[in-house]
A and B are shown apart, each in its own frame.
Chain A
């Protein structure tokens, strides 16, 4: 019935009356109700209360942010340079809502100490100019104005000023969730509120590279890695003159130390005596990797030629046993990612011809690239104690069960975000780094505690670095295949000759470390030596007269150059240098050494994935590990929590973890069957229950009816 026409024609009074009570009444009611409810919904979204009921509090602000804002000493001014919200593109508008929400929450948490001031750079030229000065950038985006499409400037930057002094600018923030907002804004606030960026020192010895520039590959990428550079300052302390480290330096990183002079070792020792933390990424050997996949050992020495003491001995003195051997692990396969070529992998792939005759990358097991995995290896004791006939040696198995453990302790804070992945960062030709042992037991210096943080699997081969570790060579496909078979066979022979043990790959030693140079005269600085020599020379010259002023003594070459370039010391500067701090024979504070048996996984070319296309290694987890390590060392657990709020492990385990060395296909099949079974049960049982319920209801009713009819007749 057409109500509108009714109403306009309005023939009879009665008809009108009916309409007023009918269609019109309904319309008016509905419109009014819509307005009221719309208002209600709007208000509800303005003054919303969100309760995060996940047990991990996945969607709530962390305590870190709360305590940070709740304990401000001075006023934190937040200048929000936001252009008009209505003109923002829709997708950005949501981020504005998130930001507004977050700022409101900040003000609440700040208890009056947080002040938010808003500016619109689009409406005020002066504000826009200021933005340009302080580093808040506009984004030019398509505008959403009703009639036309035009390019508009949008601003969404924040500037934090703490106590009228320190400031920090976030040029353009567009967080998609409050969680993301927190991850960007809280560190920024922390930065202005705390006095300075945490400083870390480092020394690096670039890796050699074949076939390309001689400059070598460094560790720049990990240092400039976003998460790192924002919050930490890394300063190079590699001093040609071997100066002692400044007192305010807490932590020093050594990226693949080599050619270490005694003086440098002394510097480390004194740093530790003072209570510093030394972090060493060390390798026993350096393998060349290039476009041609050389994989050959390159000459490298840890200690400088004229060095009198060995770095390994120095470490042993502190309680670390560093065997300069290469560790390989056959069990890497156990945690092979599903999608080998897209998932983060530390595996080795070789070009092969597929059945269509096209060249493609095929995954190859390469035991020198592997992860420490979180699984407990004592579960695999029986499997490992099996002899060639497949019989389990009970005694061996019991010993193994006792001996073997997890490759990555899950309680360690450092591995918080690796727990989910179930494995640590991938290592490349790593080396043995363990605790000092004597007679099979830990033998640490008095007052020193140590812990092994990462271990390989028991299927490990530890040996002196071989000259060549290329598994496939560079021949034609068949030759490659043969080469690879030979490589594996040889590896298998070597590994079965060894006793099964888990090679330690990372240790953390702390306490009052004994000085390696106690009671020994401190090694002189190169400049001192030169000075002495110059003095000597001068004396000699005095003695011999001024006949041969330019002549050099052959003994001068004993002065070891530190680093890639020979030191050029200005005698005047040396003279002007302040006298060195007195030698410490005893520790004055508890020091700490963290040593990781690999440095390749932080190399620029590995991190960036330069060899990905050619099937080479790609250390995708390296930067994450490094960033986590910095937070861990800084003991800023809040920030780790912010970076990697990993929920409780809720991994679905349909079948028990596969025993290492078991048949992959059998396990795969078992998993498939179990998966199918569980799914089908879940799929079919509830509908069947419903059907059963229905049948019961009908049967009961039928019985009821029959009984009733019987009683009637």
Chain B
């Protein structure tokens, strides 16, 4: 559905996009991850035809965003960052306007609005002025606006920013439902959002794509996670014995509880039998092993890992 090839964008002297390339297949829900100013919004604005790229090319549903901008715009639904709305309009008027301007035929218009209203749960506020709505409802109106014409591609720029946790949950559910019918590209800096609702994540930093793949693929690129062991036993003893037994493996205390202590054991690369060795050690010393978990690497780790590196690089350069 979306093909991006070597996309560049300069704002005056500043290069916002340094030639990014990616493609999104039909039915995918792609999360655009990245710190503020990484180029997420710029990419989206180019995809929606609002901005013109300085170099490279991008196409949506087979139409070039520059040459066939209007065709592209007909096929996308767009929720810009911070959800701009005509606050002086009523919700129904506003949705009707958006449907009209996007060329929904008159006869099908009410049906289309009805569908969007139902999907976004707007029926209670349909007759209200937008200015009177809560932030969450506004966000839903923005989403309804984007889907009213049933576009094949949905582009949502930070759909959950500024919402309270409950609202975030609601909007996420909504996006999940939308993902069933539409190809969705959404940008966010909430990692959970991508973890929860996206089939794929693209991590952008400093105008470049630093990672692109499903969650599992991304996590797999990271080393295996550390061990967390909850042990009831004398702390000094445990630490000393561990250091003796697992030479060179860093062990530290994470938390001290009521009679127990959580230890973190960073398992090194390779196939060293650290878990077995540790288990034996506990048994041998007669301590109580309350819990032994291998912590999984999260997307957050991936993200931090990648973006911190990049910013360090940028700083040193």
Contact = CB atoms under 8 A, between A and B. Distances in A.
A709 B90 CA distance: 12
A638 B223 CA distance: 109
Interface in A8-57: 11-12, 14-15, 17-18, 21
B240 interface: no
B90 A18 contact: no
B10 A17 contact: yes
Interface stretch (B121-129, B246-254, B266-274): B121-129
Interface in B89-123: 90, 92, 123
Contacts of B128: 705
Interface string B1-33: 000000010111101000000000000000000
A708 B54 contact: no
Given A21-B52, A705-B90, A15 B12 contact: yes
A712 B126 contact: yes
A21 B54 CA distance: 9
Contacts of B52: 21
Contact of A14 (B10, B90, B92, B127): B10
Interface in B124-143: 124, 126-128
Interface of B is mostly: mixed
Nearest to B128: A705
Given A705-B127, A708-B126, A15 B90 contact: no
A12 B9 CA distance: 12
Contact of B123 (A11, A12, A18, A712): A712
B35 to A, nearest CB: 22
B12 A712 contact: no
A11 B13 contact: yes
B213 interface: no
A17 B52 CA distance: 11
A676 interface: no
Contacts of B11: 18
A111 interface: no
Given A705-B90, A708-B126, A709-B127, A17 B54 contact: yes
Nearest to A713: B124
Contacts of A11: 13
B124 to A, nearest CB: 6
B257 to A, nearest CB: 52
B126 A14 contact: no
A1 interface: yes
Interface in A498-518: none
A523 B90 CA distance: 106
A1 B14 CA distance: 13
B127 A18 contact: no
B162 interface: no
A18 to B, nearest CB: 5
Contact of B13 (A15, A17, A704): A15
A535 interface: no
Contacts of A21: 52
Interface string A243-272: 000000000000000000000000000000
B127 A712 contact: yes
Residue among B52, B55, B123, B127 with the most chain A CB within 10 A?
B127
A1 B54 contact: no
Q: Which of B8, B13, B55 has the most CB of A within 10 A?
A: B13
Given A17-B55, A21-B52, A12 B13 contact: yes
A130 interface: no
Contacts of B12: 1, 6, 15, 18
Nearest to B17: A14
B42 to A, nearest CB: 13
B6 to A, nearest CB: 12
Nearest to A16: B10
A236 B67 CA distance: 91
Nearest to A1: B12
B10 A12 contact: yes
B146 to A, nearest CB: 23
Contacts of B10: 12, 14-15, 17-18
Contacts of B90: 705
A6 B8 CA distance: 18
A704 B90 CA distance: 11
A15 B14 CA distance: 8
B124 A712 contact: yes
A1 B13 CA distance: 11
Contacts of B13: 6, 11-12, 15
A300 B52 CA distance: 102
Nearest to B54: A14
A14 B53 CA distance: 10
24 contacts: A6-B13, A14-B10, A14-B15, A14-B54, A14-B55, A15-B10, A15-B12, A15-B13, A17-B10, A17-B55, A18-B10, A18-B11, A18-B54, A21-B52, A704-B127, A705-B90, A705-B127, A705-B128, A708-B92, A708-B126, A708-B127, A709-B127, A712-B123, A712-B124
Interface of B: 8, 10-13, 15, 52, 54-55, 90, 92, 123-124, 126-128
Given A14-B15, A21-B52, A705-B90, 14 more contacts: A1-B12, A6-B12, A11-B13, A12-B10, A12-B15, A14-B10, A14-B54, A15-B10, A15-B13, A17-B10, A17-B55, A705-B128, A708-B92, A708-B126
10 closest Cβ pairs, A-B complex? A708-B127, A14-B10, A14-B54, A705-B127, A15-B10, A18-B10, A709-B127, A17-B54, A18-B54, A1-B12
